[in-house]
Amino acid sequence: MRKVAVVGVGMTKFSGKQNKTAVELFTEAATDAISESNIKPKDLHALFLGNCLSDFAEGQMHIQAFCADNIGAAGIPANRYENACASAAAAIRDAFISVAGGFYDIVIAGGTETAAKMGTPLATRTFAMASDSRYEFSAGITFPGVFALLSHLYSRRYGVPIERLKNQMALVSVNSHYYGARNPKAQFQKEITVDDVLKSFMVATPIQLQDCCPFTDGASAVILTSEEIARKLTPKPVFIAGVGQASAGNLLTQKDSLPRIRSRELAAKQSYDMSGLGPKDIDVIELHDCFSIATIIALESLGFFDYGKSGEAIEKGETRIGGKIPVNVSGGLKAKGHPIGATGAAQVYEIVKQIRGECGDRQVEGARTGMTDCLGGDGGTLCNIILQRGW
């Protein structure tokens, strides 16, 4: 298996409703990634595109072919990945496999979405299609409801009083907005307080508005190459050291592990085993904080804190820069934004920038190794990617 490097990354500004189409947004991100890589579109061998809802947002299927054409790479194989919120992460994983296996030498992977363009009612309805449409959605389940359920299960299983858990969740959001305010590409660039979170309206007890990520329009792209080519293109290649992906069924079939997400534990083990690394080796992580409780749960399943203890660690500042494991210093899904099909690629974008030391006043000093964690649906897909400095 060949070593695979990220040699260029690109990302649009994340925001609410944009006038650009999903194809135009991806073209913007891809153009930046291609330019940064010192290649030309004709050098690309394939496109791996994460996109979840362009059918509903824009009435546009087959988006991957139009993206390939728009970036100047018409004719290359182009495939679309729909893995709910983990769409782009799955696309990058498969792109990695194709280069590692020697089938392609230079590929582009990423994602694009115009989720905000749909408006809240349609976006909520279409997001919920990533849960079990027969047994869950028909019972009134939407994702705020899923994570509210996980909050109560977490509180009961680990003996954390719900009021204390709500405060810990609020700190997650406060931390995300603190870093989002320092990220020019983030959707929300304003700090908030614990009181702001606790006074926001209740969405699904105990999930409040400021515990929830927004609907977002945006795109991100990465260029992957073999090590031999990467060494010729950039003095700062960032290598993919390990990848993992796992799946799960509906909430009922996951009942014995909840609130832990079993697919996350399986995917994380794959990425740790492939890289030969463990939680202690990770300098910074971008994880899937679609709701603030998701951060608390993920940190434990990924091995950074004991089960039932990550909330205490957040209270102590252990997830901020200077702490044990800096989390979502991009602003995460909560403040940076969550354009579903692009989120996994945006996480990789941030980790690459951190490893290169290009993040200004939210830079994790000395970051050499980073991890991404991207969840699709209610645990139906989970992808982890570990990246490492290559110079």
Can you tell me whether residue 197 is helix, strand or coil?
helix
Whether 150 maps to a domain, the answer reads no
Whether 42 maps to a domain, the answer reads yes
What would the pLDDT profile of 312-339 be if each residue is shown by its tens digit? 999 999 999 999 999 999 999 999 999 9
User: Do the Cβ atoms of 218 and 7 come closer than 8 Å?
Assistant: no
What would the pLDDT profile of 38-58 be if each residue is shown by its tens digit? 999 999 999 999 999 999 999
Write out the residue range of the structural domain in which residue 325 sits: 4-120+214-389
The CATH number that applies at residue 19 is 3.40.47.10
Q: Can you give the pLDDT at residue 119?
A: 87
Number of domains within the chain: 1
What is the C-alpha separation between 391 and 380, in angstroms, rounded?
Answer: 36
Annotated catalytic residue 374: no
DSSP 8-state class, residue 85 = B
Whether 285 maps to a domain, the answer reads yes
What would the pLDDT profile of 114-148 be if each residue is shown by its tens digit? 999 888 888 888 888 888 888 887 888 889 999 99
Whether 128 maps to a domain, the answer reads no
User: Do the Cβ atoms of 246 and 204 come closer than 8 Å?
Assistant: no
Annotated catalytic residue 290: no
The catalytically annotated residue of 338, 359, 374, 383 is 338
Tokens representing 50 are 């994460």
The catalytically annotated residue of 52, 85, 374, 383 is 85
Whether 155 maps to a domain, the answer reads no
